[in-house]
């Protein structure tokens, strides 16, 4: 989800040949604003783009290197998992690391974000979205004069100014073509330590394979993967009998797509029936999946749960499934996934499989929600983030088939998405699910949970009046006898935060106290109770009761540390940093601000990071470090830009910011302050550009 999307090619890291294509692409990136790499499936467009943009690749640092042209970064959006264009803008915003917290449309937010920037946007695997992308790319290029867009697609956009570079198969004629080099390299990698000796007869067989597969890289890799069980000569013979004699004239050769189709079909034929069944069932996953997901979704008769892991390992060995770059999961290349989906449709499993897929991700989100107050929180955040595309697919399926289940999924995932900055998509699904689910089919707790998540989302977008209206509606529903404590505490949290942001801390304290007294317990009894306890701490600070607020914040923080909980711990540190500033203890304030930033880094929260950097800036300035304060303030500015808001937070933070700036400017002078601030902005942009910790 949030953070930079990677290319969809998770195959072997080595790169063979393509010197001319690399030079042409690097040259185009220095001169053109819209470049499209076209070519048939499996020809290596994604890998070529990644190689050209890799700063460590040979030639990348020489003349024509793209880096200096893009001081605001290279941003990669993998569009292969998108079934349609509804989440296209979300995918682009995610690639740009834009966590927009405003009620404007996402299109407006993306245009505003890129307008002043010099960056490269890579849109990978675009062929199924050509129409919508044509409109989007034209709009973005018009809005941002320094934007450069690179696409990989089986067909161009056909826009004015588009520079098309066709990527063909690897040369496979002659004794030492690039196709042969790729095939032998992959063959050696398949059997490390016992690779075949490349005798003249084996090289002749390898050249025959390269010729019959037309030099298509993916086809060659699939063929090389068969060497775990067969010799090169056996592969050449089998392929010769499948395709038949090579035509005499170059113009009569089989179309390139036939070569890839042959290799995929050949791999399919050489799989066991159980491997084929797992292949087609895995095609339901749009993105990365782990072993647990594969077992949950794919283990139905005749496949038992215990069968999935060894079958998955076998498909990895055959290059049908690839490990994700971090080694934590698996995925299929889109062409291979499409082949599996075709077989899935053919045997009539698609609807049943999509239902199992949707309910697996509903259960994943249920578990994440239940684990929220304790040591499972960080893993829950990362699991929900990694499954973003599949959760969206699950919601789409459930909205059409089981609206009540869709409402539960949207309500449970909404808070995670809101905290990670996916406000537009969270709001969209919550509003659709609330509309689709009939009130008589939803229990009170489920409807309160969805309204609460929508209220949090709206509040973070800055629509305080609408959020307050939703909070009042939540409170009314939660008062029903069948609601239970969780909904009442969540409603109190939302209403309390809306009071805090409106400058009514006493009202927030009354709301929180009433809810906590109505349902006695300890803060860590549940997520709703923990969040409501945090509202009370904020309210105590806002009413000037610093000693009471500090005592309760320290108690909450200690419990969070003991349980490895990060979200509440971050805001407890936020309160402690603020209180220490008010008490004239800036060094301790800075320690708590740094602790808050560490917790927010664990969760990938841009909004919380911006708040923490503002506090760190104020603490440094108050401690006599004007340059360090201005630097932190600049870094915070980069994060505030990413969420689309000027500085925000509870009203008492405003005076802290104003005092900090006066102190820092007085210490540094205007020129010194602006220089430190600008350096901080650059540092903040670099921090935001790093992948989410994994």
CA torsion, points 612, 618, 623, 628, in degrees to nearest 10?
80
pLDDT bin (cut points 50, 70, 90) of residue 247 is: very low
pLDDT digits (tens, 9 = 90+) for 151-185: 999 999 999 999 999 999 888 876 668 899 999 88
User: Higher model confidence: residue 201 or residue 452?
Assistant: 452
Mean pLDDT within 276-284: 95
Residue 18 region, left (φ>0) first, then alpha (ψ -120 to 50), else beta?
Answer: left
- Considering the chain, what percentage of its residues have pLDDT values greater than 70? 90
Specify the pLDDT at position 689: 55
Supply the DSSP string of 194-225, one letter for each residue: SPPP--HHHHHHHHHHHHHTTT-HHHHHHHHH
pLDDT digits (tens, 9 = 90+) for 417-433: 998 889 999 999 999 99
Q: What angle do CA 447, 450, 451 make, to 5 degrees?
A: 85
- Considering the chain, what percentage of its residues have pLDDT values greater than 90? 60
- Round the average pLDDT of the chain to a whole number and report it: 88
pLDDT bin (cut points 50, 70, 90) of residue 194 is: low
| Residue 576 per-residue DSSP state | H
Specify the pLDDT at position 387: 92
Specify the pLDDT at position 257: 54
Mean pLDDT within 319-332: 85
Specify the pLDDT at position 243: 54
- The pairs formed by 297-306 with CB atoms below 8 angstroms and a separation of 24 or more are 297/353, 297/356, 297/357, 297/360, 300/352, 300/356, 302/274, 302/277, 303/274, 303/277, 303/278
**Is the torsion defined by CA of 425, 426, 428, 433 positive or negative?**
positive
Residue 492 has pLDDT above 50, yes or no: yes
Specify the pLDDT at position 1: 42
* CA 661 to chain CA mean position, Å: 35
Specify the pLDDT at position 65: 43
pLDDT digits (tens, 9 = 90+) for 470-484: 999 999 999 998 888
Using DSSP's 3-state secondary structure scheme, residue 48 falls into helix
Exposure of 228 in the CB half-sphere (CA atoms within 13 A): 16
CB 309 within 8 A of CB 329: no
Specify the pLDDT at position 235: 86
Specify the pLDDT at position 258: 63
- Burial string for 301-340 (b: 16+ CB within 10 Å, else e) reads eebeeebbeebbebbeebbbbbebbeeebbbbbbbbbebb
pLDDT bin (cut points 50, 70, 90) of residue 4 is: very low
Supply the DSSP string of 456-493, one letter for each residue: HHHHHTT-HHHHHHHHHHHHHHHTSTTS-HHHHHHHHH
* Angle at which helices 626-643 and 652-688 cross, to 10°: 80
CB 105 within 8 A of CB 94: no
Specify the pLDDT at position 267: 82
Mean pLDDT within 540-551: 96
Of 561, 541, 557, the C-alpha closest to 549 is 541
Count of beta carbons in the 10 Å neighbourhood of residue 271 = 18
Specify the pLDDT at position 645: 65
Most confident of 161-170, 661-670, 678-687: 161-170
Residue 670 has pLDDT above 60, yes or no: yes
pTM for the full predicted model: 0.87
pLDDT bin (cut points 50, 70, 90) of residue 12 is: very low
Supply the DSSP string of 630-651, one letter for each residue: HHHHHHHHHHHHHHTSSS-S-T
User: Higher model confidence: residue 15 or residue 108?
Assistant: 108
CB 33 within 8 A of CB 161: yes
Specify the pLDDT at position 648: 66
* Angle at which helices 485-501 and 527-542 cross, to 10°: 30
pLDDT digits (tens, 9 = 90+) for 55-94: 765 554 443 444 568 988 899 999 998 888 999 999 999 9
pLDDT bin (cut points 50, 70, 90) of residue 191 is: confident
Specify the pLDDT at position 355: 97
Specify the pLDDT at position 262: 73
């Amino acid at each position: 989800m949030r953070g930079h999307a990677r290319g969809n090619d998770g195959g072997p890291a080595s790169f063979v040949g393509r010197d001319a294509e690399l030079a042409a692409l690097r040259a185009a990136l220095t001169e053109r604003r819209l470049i499209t790499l076209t070519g048939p499936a499996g020809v290596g467009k994604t890998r070529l783009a990644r190689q050209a943009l890799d700063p460590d690749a040979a030639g990348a640092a020489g003349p024509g290197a793209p880096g200096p042209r893009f001081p605001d970064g290279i941003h990669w959006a993998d569009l292969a998992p998108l079934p349609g264009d509804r989440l296209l803008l979300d995918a682009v915003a995610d690639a740009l690391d834009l966590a927009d917290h405003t009620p404007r449309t996402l299109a407006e937010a993306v245009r505003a974000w890129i307008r002043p920037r010099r960056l490269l946007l890579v849109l990978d695997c675009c062929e199924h979205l050509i129409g919508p992308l044509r409109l989007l790319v034209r709009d973005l290029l018009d809005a941002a004069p320094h934007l450069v867009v690179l696409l990989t697609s089986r067909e161009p956009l056909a826009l004015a100014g588009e520079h098309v570079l066709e990527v063909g198969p690897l040369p496979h004629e002659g004794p030492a073509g690039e196709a042969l080099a790729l095939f032998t390299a992959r063959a050696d990698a398949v059997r490390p330590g016992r690779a075949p000796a490349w005798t003249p007869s084996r090289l002749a067989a390898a050249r025959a394979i390269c010729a019959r597969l037309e030099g298509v890289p993916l086809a060659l890799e699939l063929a090389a993967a068969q060497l775990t069980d067969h010799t090169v000569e056996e592969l050449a013979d089998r392929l010769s009998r499948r395709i038949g004699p090579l035509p005499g004239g170059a113009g009569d050769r089989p179309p390139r797509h036939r070569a890839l189709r042959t290799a995929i079909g050949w791999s399919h034929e050489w799989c066991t029936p159980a491997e084929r069944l797992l292949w087609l069932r895995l095609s339901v996953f749009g993105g990365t999946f782990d072993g647990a997901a594969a077992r949950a979704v794919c283990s139905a008769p005749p496949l038992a749960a215990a069968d999935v892991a060894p079958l998955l390992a076998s498909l990895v060995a055959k290059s049908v499934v690839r490990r994700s770059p971090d080694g934590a999961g698996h995925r299929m290349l889109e062409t291979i996934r499409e082949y599996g989906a075709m077989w899935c449709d053919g045997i009539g499993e698609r609807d049943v499989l999509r239902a199992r897929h949707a309910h697996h991700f509903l259960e994943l989100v249920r578990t994440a929600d239940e684990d929220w107050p304790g040591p499972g929180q960080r893993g829950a955040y990362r699991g929900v983030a990694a499954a973003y595309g599949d959760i969206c697919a699950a919601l789409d399926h459930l909205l059409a088939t089981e609206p009540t289940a869709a409402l539960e999924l949207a309500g449970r995932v909404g808070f995670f998405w809101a905290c990670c900055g996916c406000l537009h998509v969270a709001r969209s699904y919550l509003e659709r699910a609330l509309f689709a689910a009939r009130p008589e089919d939803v229990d009170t707790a489920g409807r309160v949970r969805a309204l609460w998540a929508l209220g949090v989302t709206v509040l973070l977008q800055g629509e305080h009046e609408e959020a307050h209206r939703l909070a009042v509606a939540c409170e009314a529903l939660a008062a029903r006898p069948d609601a239970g404590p969780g909904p009442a505490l969540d409603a109190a949290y939302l209403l309390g935060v809306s009071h805090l942001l409106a400058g009514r801390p006493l009202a927030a304290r009354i709301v929180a106290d009433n809810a906590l007294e109505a349902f006695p317990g300890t803060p860590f009894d549940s997520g709703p109770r923990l969040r409501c306890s945090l509202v009370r701490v904020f309210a105590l600070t806002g009413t000037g009761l610093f000693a009471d607020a500090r005592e309760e914040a320290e108690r909450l923080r200690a419990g969070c540390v003991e349980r490895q909980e990060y979200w509440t711990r971050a805001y407890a540190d936020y309160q402690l940093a603020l209180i220490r500033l008010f008490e004239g203890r800036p060094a301790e304030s800075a320690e708590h601000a740094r602790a808050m930033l560490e917790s927010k880094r664990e969760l990938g929260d841009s909004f919380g990071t911006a708040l923490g950097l503002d506090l760190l800036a104020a603490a440094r300035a108050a401690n006599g470090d004007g340059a360090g304060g201005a630097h932190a303030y600049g870094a915070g500015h980069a994060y505030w830009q990413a969420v689309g808001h000027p500085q925000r937070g509870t009203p008492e933070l405003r005076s802290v910011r104003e005092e900090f700036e006066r102190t820092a400017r007085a210490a540094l002078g205007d020129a010194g302050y602006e220089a430190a601030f600008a350096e901080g902005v650059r540092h903040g942009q670099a921090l935001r550009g790093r992948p989410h910790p994994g």
